[in-house]
């Protein structure tokens, strides 16, 4: 059995949300093997490159506050999906002029 599937990531929108470190909130569509779902609230936040220390941005999945008061991601993606999603969101935000 072949466990591989085609995955497509489409950024539907990104809106500025300047609040603390938060730069923007994005909505993305993730299609896995032809089945698509939409994720709202993907966060684009100010960050620093760990190698160079230069300012930049990072992408995180939406999160929620659990009963214990701690924040937890709503969606946990494997690195094979998380990295392309992050690149797509950052590219879209850069095209919109949302990144410094």
Q: Which residues contact 10 (CB under 8 A, 6 or more apart)?
A: 28, 29, 31, 88
3-class SS at 92?
helix
| CB of 63 closer than 8 Å to CB of 75 | no
Q: pLDDT per position in the chain (100 positions), as tens?
A: 567 888 899 999 999 998 899 999 999 999 988 899 999 999 999 998 888 889 989 999 999 999 999 999 999 888 888 988 999 999 999 999 999 7
Instruction: Report how many domains make up the chain.
Output: 1
Query: Does some domain include residue 84?
Result: yes
DSSP 85: H
Element (H, E) at 80: helix 79-95
What is the pTM assigned to this prediction? 0.86
95 assigned to some structural domain: yes
Q: Is 59 exposed, middle or buried (0-12, 13-18, 19+ CB in 10 A)?
A: buried
> Looking at the domain assignment, is residue 57 inside a domain?
no
pLDDT of residue 41: 96
């Amino acid at each position: 059995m072949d466990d591989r599937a085609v995955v497509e990531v489409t950024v539907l929108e990104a809106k500025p949300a300047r609040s603390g470190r938060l730069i923007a909130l994005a909505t993305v569509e993730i299609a896995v093997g032809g089945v698509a779902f939409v994720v709202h609230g993907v966060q684009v936040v100010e960050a620093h490159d760990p190698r160079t220390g230069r300012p930049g941005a990072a992408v995180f999945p939406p999160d929620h506050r659990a009963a214990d008061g701690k924040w937890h991601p709503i969606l946990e993606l494997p690195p094979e999906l998380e990295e392309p999603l992050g690149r797509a969101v950052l590219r879209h935000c850069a095209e919109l002029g949302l990144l410094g």
